[in-house]
Amino acid sequence: MRAVAAVGVAALCALLAALVPGGASELVTLVQEQLKPESALLKPKVMIAIVARNAAHSLPHHLGCIERLEYPKERIAIWAATDHNVDNTTAMLREWLKRAQSVYHYVEWRPMEEPRSYTDEWGPKHWPPSRFNHVLKLRQAALKAARQQWADYILFVDSDNLLTNPRVLNLLMAENLTLAAPMLESRSLYSNYWCGVTPQGYYKRTPDYQPIREWKRLGCYAVPMVHSTFLIDLRRAASRHLAFYPPHPDYSWAFDDIMVFAFSARQAGVQMYVCNREHYGLLPVPLKAQQSVEDESESFIHTITEALIDHDIEPSEHLYSPPSPQSTMGFDEIFLINLKRRLDRRTRMLKSMSSLGLHPTVTDAVDGKALNSSQLQALGIEMLPGYKDPYSGRVLTRGEIGCFLSHYSIWKQVLERGLQRVLLLEDDARFEPRFKRRLQAIIDDIDKTQLDWDLIYVGRKRMQVQQPEQSVAGVNNLVKADYSYWTLGYALSQQGARKLLAAKPLSRMLPVDEFLPIMFNKHPNTQFMSHFEPRDLKAFSTEPLLIYPTHYTGEPGYFSDTETSTIWDDEAVATDWDRQQARKTAQQGSIHAVAQNSVGGDSPPPAARASRDEL
C-alpha cells in the first residue's frame, strides 16, 4: 500500500512541475493557438403584428417600409390579420405573405373573407362597439402568439403607418424601455401619443404636447397613452400582465382599444413612452365616421407625398401596384420646372405627382449658375433700373435670371403651341390634402361662371396682409390676388401668357415673383410699376392655398438655387448671405383677423398651419 501511495505522490509532483513556470519538465501545453473572440449575439426575436382593414391603398407602401427595416429578417416573425373588407386587402396581404414568408422566421395569417361589414356600423370609417371588440381580440391574439413563439419583442404597427426610418427597431430597442412608441408625424400636430387624460380616460390637452411634437424637446417621455405603432419588450416581467382582451376588471371607461390597453399598462405598472430623438415615420390624420374608403385613400396619398419630401420610399417589391390613372385636370399641359442637376427634386416630384394621378411635362430649368455675361448680352437681358432686393439690398442674381427665363420659356410655348391653359409647378412644391380634387372643383366653377382670368396662384406668399382680398362671386375658394411672392405653382391662360410676353420683361428684368404683381398692378413700388404698361393681368388665387414650399428659410433641407448664386453682372460676387435673415423665403407670417380672406365652399384649415389641433 505504501508503494502505491508513493507512486501516486510522484505522479502528482510531476504534474505540478509541468504546470508551474520554471518547473523541471514541460510535459503539458494547454493552448498553442491564439484565442479567438466570442461570436456576436444574435439580434432579439421580433414579431411584427399587422391588423389591416380596407387597406389596399396603403399596404404597398406600408409593407415596403417593413421590408426595408434594417433588421435581420430571419429574426422577424410576421403576424397578420384582416377582415370586414370591401376592397382588395385580403388578396393583397395574402400575396405579400406568400412571396415574403421565405425570408422571415415565421408567418401567421388570419384572414376572414366574410362578413364585409359590421352589422352596427354606419360605414367603413365608423367604430361601433362590435368593431372595437373584434380589434381588441385580434391584438390579444397577436400578443399571445408572440409569447408562444418566445419572441423578445412585439411591434404593433397600423397598416396605414409608414416607418420611413429603417433603423426604427434598433433605435427603440436601444432605449431599453418596456413599452415605447416612435413619434410619428403628420402634416398637422396630430401624432400617436397623448400627454394627458381626463379622469374618464379621454384626451386632455396639456402644454407638454406641442414641444415634443415639434422636436423642441428631444428624448423619450413618459406619457399616459401611445397608439398606432409601439414596441413592447416581452422579456420584461411586467409585460406578462399586459392585455388587450378582456379589458381589465376595473376598467369602466369607453370601450376603445387604445384606452383599454393604456389602462392595462397602468394596472400592470408599465409606463408608456414616446420617443422623438429622430424622425421615425408618418401617419395620416384620422377621418370622420361618415367618410368613405375613397376619402381614406385620398388622405393616404397625401401621407405618401409628405413622406417623399425627406425619404425616397418605394412600394413593396412583392406586390404589384397598378399606377394611378394620370390626367392633366383639363389643362393642356402641367409643366414641372426642374434643374437637371437637381435629380433628387425631380424624382420626388414625379413620384408625388404619380401618386396624385397627375401627368406632368418635365421642363429643364435654365441654370443661372451656367449663364455667362455673353449669353446674357445675347438674350438682351438688362436689369430693371434701380432694382434692389427689398430685404438684402443686393441686385439681381443669376439664379433669379435663370428662374425668370425658365418661366418665360413656358410662356412662349403657350403661344407658339396654341395652348389654351396650363399649370406651372416648381420642383419644391408641397401639396395640400386633396390637391387634385380641390383644384379641379375650382376650375369647374371657373368654367361654369365663364370667369375671365389670366393667372391663378395655387401657391404663393401673401405679402399684403392689412386688408382681406376680394372673393370671387360664383367661384368657391377663389380670391382676387393682391401683392404676392413666390411662383411655386400657378395656372396660366393663353391670354395671360400673351400679356406677360408683350411687356418685354427681359430688357428690364427683376425677379419673376416681383414681375407678376407689377403686371396685375398690385406691386407697392410705383417706380418699378412705371416701367410696364399696361398692367391689366387678371390675377386670382386659390383660398386656402393648395401648394406650399417643402422647406423654409433656416429649416434643415432648405436650399435656394435662385439666391445661392452670383450677382447678374459679376460672376465673382456670390450672394449666399445668412438665410436666417432672408425674409423673402421665410414662412408666411400671421395674418391679422381683420385681413383674413373669406370665401365660400370647402375651406379646410391649411395643413401647413402649425396651430392645428393635435386631435
Residue 351 CA to residue 357 CA, distance in Å, equals 10
Lowest mean pLDDT among 73-87, 211-225, 264-278, 376-390: 376-390
Residue 307 CA to residue 280 CA, distance in Å, equals 11
pLDDT at 28 > cutoff 90: no
8 burial level (CB within 10 Å; 0-12, 13-18, 19+): exposed
pLDDT at 254 > cutoff 80: yes
Q: According to the model, what pLDDT value does residue 554 have?
A: 60
Q: According to the model, what pLDDT value does residue 564 have?
A: 53
Residue 169 CA to residue 167 CA, distance in Å, equals 6
Read off the pLDDT band of 324 (50, 70, 90).
confident
**Higher-scoring residue by pLDDT: 254, 235:** 235
pLDDT in tens, 358-370: 999 999 999 988 8
pLDDT at 613 > cutoff 70: no
Read off the pLDDT band of 216 (50, 70, 90).
very high
Residue 313 CA to residue 348 CA, distance in Å, equals 10
Across residues 262-280, what is the average pLDDT?
Answer: 97
Residue 589 CA to residue 94 CA, distance in Å, equals 49
Q: According to the model, what pLDDT value does residue 200 have?
A: 87
Lowest mean pLDDT among 113-127, 299-313, 445-459, 478-492: 113-127
Lowest mean pLDDT among 68-77, 158-167, 195-204, 301-310: 195-204
> How distant, in Å, are the alpha carbons of 374, 383, 405, 508 from that of 380?
10, 10, 12, 9
pLDDT at 579 > cutoff 80: no
Q: According to the model, what pLDDT value does residue 294 have?
A: 94
Residue 489 CA to residue 337 CA, distance in Å, equals 10
Q: Cell digits for 90?
A: 385580403
Q: Which helix (H) or strand (E) holds 423?
A: strand 421-426
DSSP state of 396: -
Report whether 124 contacts 292 (CB < 8 A).
yes
Q: Is 357 left (phi over 0), alpha (psi -120 to 50) or beta?
A: left
pLDDT in tens, 508-557: 999 999 999 999 999 999 999 999 999 999 999 999 999 999 988 666 65
pLDDT in tens, 70-108: 999 999 999 999 999 999 999 999 999 999 999 999 999
DSSP state of 327: B
Read off the pLDDT band of 602 (50, 70, 90).
low
pLDDT at 465 > cutoff 70: yes
pLDDT at 563 > cutoff 80: no
Give the type of residue at 124: P
What percentage of the chain has pLDDT greater than the value 70?
Answer: 85
Across residues 293-322, what is the average pLDDT?
Answer: 94
Q: According to the model, what pLDDT value does residue 456 have?
A: 98
Report whether 536 contacts 498 (CB < 8 A).
no
Across residues 327-342, what is the average pLDDT?
Answer: 96
Residue 161 CA to residue 231 CA, distance in Å, equals 14
Q: How does strand 153-157 pair with strand 220-223?
A: unpaired
Cis peptide before 166 (omega within 30 of 0): no
Residue 94 CA to residue 99 CA, distance in Å, equals 9
pLDDT in tens, 395-454: 888 899 999 999 999 999 999 999 999 999 999 999 999 999 999 999 999 999 999 999
Q: According to the model, what pLDDT value does residue 29 have?
A: 53
Enter the pTM of the model: 0.87
DSSP strands (E only) in 481-565: 484-493, 539-542, 547-549
Average pLDDT over the chain reads: 89
Across residues 375-380, what is the average pLDDT?
Answer: 89
What residues are paired with 80 via a beta bridge? 50, 109
pLDDT in tens, 139-169: 999 999 999 999 999 999 999 999 999 999 9
> How distant, in Å, are the alpha carbons of 2, 102, 192, 408, 601 from that of 288?
98, 39, 17, 44, 19
Residue 304 CA to residue 101 CA, distance in Å, equals 26
Number of other CB atoms surrounding residue 250 within 10 Å? 7
pLDDT in tens, 29-71: 555 678 989 999 999 999 999 999 999 999 999 999 999 999 9
Read off the pLDDT band of 19 (50, 70, 90).
very low
Residue 374 CA to residue 493 CA, distance in Å, equals 33
Read off the pLDDT band of 567 (50, 70, 90).
low
Residue 160 CA to residue 62 CA, distance in Å, equals 6
Read off the pLDDT band of 587 (50, 70, 90).
low
Give the type of residue at 460: R
Lowest mean pLDDT among 254-263, 318-327, 598-607: 598-607
